[in-house]
Chains A and B, each alone.
Chain A
């Protein structure tokens, strides 16, 4: 790709400094909020600044595009920006998946005194056995761990207590009551519907585009509804909370961050839907929608990983 001599370099802009201020206030506010007796006021002020800036920022970018300022080369910069942003999100999830694998495969059996110190030889060494005997006697490695090492040693006095039930596959007889399966179906369907919407837009079939994008947004909201149901179930009936040892930790952090990304993706798609209703996009100029749909596919792929490693293979 080469410079074509018409690259649009925007003049001075007030947006970034307000965005930086919003982020600074949010960060400071969040840090003081989590302290004991902290208040959420500063954080909320920061969030409001940020929301206003983002609204304004994207309005301006959309307006520039409608006025024809965005050359094909500039649009390609936006494409690259979005793709590399998604890559950074992939690495964020990789971090939490990595933590899950490390804990499941290595730490769990080390604490239980099962594994050897070497990978070439899996007979327990004296060191591993002694480790288990002295540090966490009575803890047996298992996944999902229903009791924590703390509980194995200290019983009811333990600070960390395992869950009463876990979220793993409940058996074929109860499979239709297993929420994660429904969640998977909903999200995969939504990836298909957003693709149908994309094809419709390329064919200039606006009505079909609006309909299928609307369905995608509805499916996104439905997924979030099911996810909230699952959390309520976990907290109220299954004794499964953030504090239920490493299982609760990894379960809620992975599904929670995924849920936050679904929320973001749903908002993105909703905005594109509203733009579609207002008549934005043409069959060959639809970056806002495409970016949101890439993000949606990414969120979908992450869920498939979650479904496999958090729910099924347990």
Chain B
């Protein structure tokens, strides 16, 4: 452990084995982040294919069957391959540095959690090249589309999801064990940075619901291959059972994606406001409340499926309750900025955009939660617009902010501020051009997941596609800026990097040494 990590100067063999055999939380964090960016580019390419096809009405470029595979794979790759691993990467890098731990609690399992992912996604994407094509039933894979009417390759999807779930569960157990067991002396729970808090609650959600997802795909596997009738009413089962099981996983899953994003923003906004976070403890309780509520609202995704009226009412009101803790968070971020000495570096720009656009996406969520109104919105582009406001402007924007914010600490070099700001404005404008019109399309009745549409939807679809290409272009700029920083960025050795930064990670030298906190710091 005394020697430093192998670099390219030690030869390719040693350099590759460093990354493959590593037990270092920073190396594993880096692996997660690069993997996630690769998946982000792949999922983004699928989205570009979708938007290119929808640029004009009529079938232009691809066949409807392939379009279905693209919508499915775009969703799966972005949720499980891009966003989730990105936040696990941040957790790996930051949690040990933030709580004063020498590493993650179970370092070898940490490496295993990562290296399962390339196998899982190789299996998943290989189906695109198999006979029958890849999964074509939407990322929510409702039965019987995903069972009775699925291509044979669905079995690869099922087992891919299984090992990916194992990876998530192991990663989460590791985070929980690290936070519960590895905090430096004096680092009480209520002194932990909010990013650590949001992640430990996220990890709890993951351990609770990934096994349910495993159960759902196992039921599919049995129905498809072994003659069971979970999702077949002829045998006494019910296709709606699938939706209940899936959304019992799926609703906590969307908070799994957004809670770490809340954590990131709660670190960044105080730094550039030069004020401590307003309402720290209420932030912690709000996060816990959101996590609890996420388990009891799942059927609001299923208002049109034919539930008892009591069920519709319960799930409607329970869903609306989520606005309360979420509102607490939004007001706390705004109040943190109130009368602060604000500066608008790239991470801050992305964080402010997060607060505005996430709140917007939250409000459309409130509209969707009204069971009676949802009859009109259900499965239209309004839903697509809603969840892209929270997934993209929420999770992806905060992930981008996090990379800009901590990259100088990680590699000891500054990114190009102008390029970062240019990227922000292209991404911000491109994003809104893409998804704002989709609200109008949805309210006008355009259904989601179709390869073609009526002429009345043509104009806004064209606008949306133009915005999508803009947003896609901004990501190339992001990649370029990150590579440029790591290779040729202006060196910095200021431990704080940012004037207003607070927290243990900013007490370490810049760039952060390979092993940090071998002796635990004292926290007052």
Interface residues, chain A, with chain B CB atoms under 8 Å away: 1-5, 7, 9-17, 19-21, 23-24, 26-28, 30-32, 34-36, 57, 73, 76-78, 80-81, 84-85, 87-89, 91-92, 94-96, 98-99, 102-103, 107-108, 110-111, 116-120, 135-136, 145, 148-150, 158-160, 241-243, 245-249, 252-253
Contacts and interface: CB of A to CB of B under 8 A. Distances in A.
Interface in B100-156: 100-103, 105-109, 111-112, 115-116, 118-120, 122-123, 152, 155-156
A103 B241 contact: yes
Interface of B: 1, 17-18, 20-23, 100-103, 105-109, 111-112, 115-116, 118-120, 122-123, 152, 155-156, 158-160, 162-163, 166, 169, 172-174, 176-178, 180-187, 207-212, 214-216, 218-219, 221-222, 224-230, 232-238, 240-241, 244-245, 248, 308-311, 515, 517-520
What 8 A-B pairs come out closest when comparing CB atoms? A24-B119, A95-B215, A246-B236, A160-B235, A20-B115, A16-B112, A3-B520, A243-B227
Given A11-B23, A77-B106, A102-B244, 16 more contacts: A9-B102, A14-B21, A20-B118, A27-B120, A27-B162, A31-B158, A31-B159, A78-B106, A91-B207, A95-B248, A99-B245, A107-B240, A145-B236, A149-B233, A159-B234, A243-B229
Given A95-B212, A95-B215, A23 B207 contact: no
B18 A12 contact: yes
Of B105, B156, B184, B518, most buried by chain A (CB within 10 Å of CB) is: B105
Contact of A148 (B22, B23, B235): B235
A286 to B, nearest CB: 19
Nearest to B169: A88
A135 B211 CA distance: 34
B415 to A, nearest CB: 30
Contacts, number: 252
Nearest to A116: B308
Contacts of A27: 119-120, 123, 159-160, 162-163
Contact of B119 (A9, A23, A36, A95): A23
B184 A246 contact: no
A10 B236 contact: no
Given A31-B158, A98-B248, A103 B237 contact: yes
B123 A28 contact: yes
A9 B176 contact: no
A106 to B, nearest CB: 8
Given A81-B106, A89-B211, A103-B238, A17 B233 contact: no
Contact of B225 (A34, A81, A159): A34
Of A7, A13, A15, A26, most buried by chain B (CB within 10 Å of CB) is: A7
Question: Main SS of chain A's interface residues?
Answer: helix
Contact of B235 (A11, A36, A77, A249): A249
A242 to B, nearest CB: 5
Contact of A107 (B215, B236, B520): B236
A140 to B, nearest CB: 12
A108 B236 contact: yes
B111 A13 contact: yes
A88 B166 CA distance: 10
Contact of A13 (B21, B158, B211, B232): B21
Contacts of B232: 160
A35 B127 CA distance: 14
Contacts of A91: 207-209, 211-212
A108 B229 CA distance: 13
Nearest to B210: A88
Contacts of B238: 102-103, 107, 110-111
A99 B248 contact: no
A24 B120 contact: yes
B520 A2 contact: yes
A243 B245 contact: no
B173 A246 contact: no
Nearest to B160: A27
Contacts of B310: 118-120
B177 A80 contact: yes
14 contacts: A3-B101, A4-B520, A16-B109, A16-B111, A19-B112, A77-B105, A77-B178, A88-B210, A118-B309, A145-B236, A242-B227, A242-B228, A246-B237, A253-B228
